[in-house]
Structure 1
């Protein structure tokens, strides 16, 4: 690997990022309602103290009770651009811990890999971004402008942390953002959008043997599913395969009938529910797509006087795309090339990230980080140790290139 700074600096940062990742992973931060031992507060407190110890101006803000954001500020004192690094503190559940080969919160290192929940998504990359900025400070590397470390809660849920960060004004004036997620250090310049939709369909409860005395919502749900599958195929034919993000999709995820009470084979339920995980590409328009779904429901209602349905948009995250010519993309691209000695790979993020809302706020974003793209949320989640070191070097170099580049 080509080193852009002395071997001893790379080795120092490697050891630092390994140790910080282990400490973060060993603090469980799976959000569980009404469980103060399992949310982000403890790991956020650890991060805030760590930033303070290494001389970074630090702020903690409670988003909702027990769920804080951490913000770190490094100001050069010289006029220039502002670069934001973003890495969240929450992780998904470990699931059945007995199914893990390694302790999900043990951060064990075996044959060059660190195992544990969050090693990959995304405490390893959170450690990389902190270590990269600390490295700049330790070496007194010259730069202009300002670096903001955005460390929010709730990325795995409704992204309340990043929304609060933006609402409080922290994102104002940011010129570019690096979203620190597991992408095999590929330069990801696009993200699929996400619409989470809940459909409630109502009927009339009755005996299964006397079906004419009831109204079966399940038949109505089935008709809707058929139409939604057709809509998905139409959208895929209309927009084709995105070169970075593949296909737009409409995916039924939860079907529940009845919604409340105990199901019984000889009872027609009075209420069933469907959830849809809709993923979009930048060429699509969310308002237009939702209107097509509403029109399908309206048509089914017109055909059937007993078709009663309510649609609720649970979440709506637009797709994103950043130009290859944007300064933050160029800085990351050049950093990857310089650190690895290889031609960087452009790609897209299959899901949404906190960067979605920074993009909506008008900030160019690029997503990059250590970790196999297929490993997040799996049993025996892991990250390659050498990739952590490489990512730290990439983040450091990208920051210096972006901040020291002359304004266009």
Structure 2
């Protein structure tokens, strides 16, 4: 078997992806609430880069919210066949305290084979890989059938407005498989944990802490509710066992606040207590059934305590995903990894949700794979190994050609 890493194509693409990653990272695309930062500049750069290749890529830019556009690139072979989608977002999380960084968070400096900076790992490096892979296919005039869509959305790190808009505008219709370009150490991730985010408000009656019988303390009731959630978590874990890719389902109280409005005082019983639950699920769980179990717990608590007044608000509800190994998109990625890395692929799952969640809900089989240590996203001194960027580019290139080979190839 030919070693792809020794080819002139690999060498050329390696230089291209390193340069492109640096340029993308050097454009700050943190969404800042003060309005001074967003994805507009980096989206403009990507759109112009694709146009200036002069390789026949059809480029669209659509504003999702002010200053936050999606970029869409269409590569049409003009031959009937399947449609492959690559997805990589343009936004990055805040750099936090810049003084805590050893390197400029937007400098994209290369030190000892690693590039440092916000987005090198999550996920501008992989965005550069997918663009470079398609550029490489076109430069080499490789034969393929069907279409390739480059989906480059905004707001993956927030409410995922970009991918929702992309789907709402019908761009995802007719897509046969999608590669989600996220940092997964080039492991073939065929599962993702789901997410339910709940806000729980429990109401009481404000009173003097020394005269507790004159009030209704929501904190006692919240404590009992959280204890019930811990019991439910253990029940779900015992019922389902450990998922081979995603480990354990979980129910995690995160924010706990009382009072919700006004100042807290040690001698005052608050009138309201609020918590948020970050619930992470595995494919074997049904979200409607899980929410029904929580509602049943609340109903039982109300029955035993007439002063138990609670309001439950679902803030987010994203199902877990799973794609069978026999699906054509998984098989294409499998053999691409095997051909490029010269080893059997490692299968895994994504511990959180990605834009791919909504593509999955839309009926598109997804695989998540990309360069970068899985533990590094959102950290100080974020980095990616530059050789891994080159390997990922080659994997994306090979996967596209395998998936779109057509019956006569």
TM-score (norm 1): 0.97
Q: Distance in 2 between matches of 1:136 and 1:226?
A: 56
1:189–1:367 Cα contact (<8 Å) kept: yes
Q: Which residue of 2 aligns with 1:45?
A: 44
Write the distance in 2 (CA, Å) between the matches of 1:219 and 1:312: 20
How far off its partner does 1:308 sit? 1.1
Aligned partners of 2:100, 2:332: CA distance in 1, in Å?
Answer: 41
Task: Describe the SS at the equivalent of 1:335.
Answer: helix
Shift of the alpha carbon at 1:2?
5.9
3-state DSSP of counterpart to 2:4? coil
Maintained 8 Å contact 2:5/2:340: no
| Aligned pairs for 1:127-276 within 5 A | 127-276=128-277
Cα distance between partner residues in 1 of 2:177 and 2:151:
13
Q: Residue 44 of structure 1: CA displacement?
A: 1.0
- Please list, as runs of the form range in 1=range in 2, the aligned pairs for 1:257-336 lying within 5 A after superposition: 257-336=258-337
CA deviation profile, 1:64-87 (whole Å, cap 9, x unmatched) = 122111100000111111000000
User: What is the CA–CA distance in structure 2 between the aligned matches of 1:14 and 1:341, rounded to whole Å?
Assistant: 18
Aligned: 1:28 with 2:16? no
Displacement, 1:333?
0.4
Which of 1-10 and 80-89 deviates more? 1-10
For 1:308 and 1:117, locate their aligned partners in 2 and report how far apart those are by CA, in whole Å.
44
Deviations along 1:45-102, one digit per CA (max 9) or x if unpaired, are: 1111111111321101111122111100000111111000000111111111111111
Structure 2 contact 5–11 (Cα < 8 Å) conserved: no
Name the CA distance, whole Å, in 2 between partners of 1:228 and 1:124.
39
Cα distance per residue 1:366-399 (max 9 Å; x no partner): 0000000111111111100000000000000000
Cα distance in structure 1, aligned partners of 2:209 and 2:48: 62
Whether the 8 Å CA contact 1:2–1:341 is kept in 2: the answer is no
Deviation, 1:34, is 4.3
Post-superposition shift, 1:249? 0.5
Q: Which moved more, 1:212-221 or 1:337-346?
A: 212-221
Tell me which stretches of 4 or more aligned residues in structure 1 moved more than 4 Å: none
Deviation at residue 3 of structure 1 after TM alignment: 3.2
Q: C-alpha deviations, 1:136-172, integer Å up to 9, x for none?
A: 1111111111000000111111111111101100000
Give the match's secondary structure for 2:163.
helix
| Aligned Cα root-mean-square deviation (Å) | 1.3
TM-score computed with the length of structure 2 as normaliser: 0.97
How much has 1:258 moved relative to structure 2?
1.4
Distance in 2 between residues matched to 1:2 and 1:259, nearest whole Å: 64
8 Å Cα contact 2:193/2:320 also seen in 1 = yes
Number of the residue aligned with 2:395 = 394
Distance 2:38 2:278 in 1: 25
Q: Which runs of 5+ in 1 are unaligned?
A: none
Q: Tell me the residue number matched to 2:116.
A: 115
Distance across 1 between alignment mates of 2:29 and 2:260: 30
Shift of 1:406: 2.7
Q: Displacement of 1:197 after TM fit?
A: 0.7
The answer to whether the 8 Å contact 1:69/1:165 transfers is yes
What per-residue deviation string (whole Å, max 9, x for no partner) do you get for residues 321-340 of structure 1?
A: 10101111000000000001
- The size of the alignment, in residue pairs, is 406
- 1:12-43, Cα deviation, whole Å (9 max, x unpaired): 111111111111111111112341x3111111
Q: Does 1:404 align with 2:405?
A: yes
* Corresponding residue for residue 14 of structure 2: 14
Offset from partner CA, 1:150-197 (integer Å, 9 cap, x none): 001111111111111011000000010000000000000111111011
Secondary structure of 1:404's counterpart equals: coil
The answer to whether the 8 A contact 1:2-1:339 is kept is no
User: Is this contact kept in 2: 1:26–1:106, CA < 8 A?
Assistant: yes
- Tell me how far apart the structure 1 counterparts of residues 220 and 176 of structure 2 sit (CA, whole Å): 52
Distance 1:33 1:23 in 2: 24
Q: CA deviation at 1:130?
A: 0.3
CA shift, 1:405, in A, is 4.1
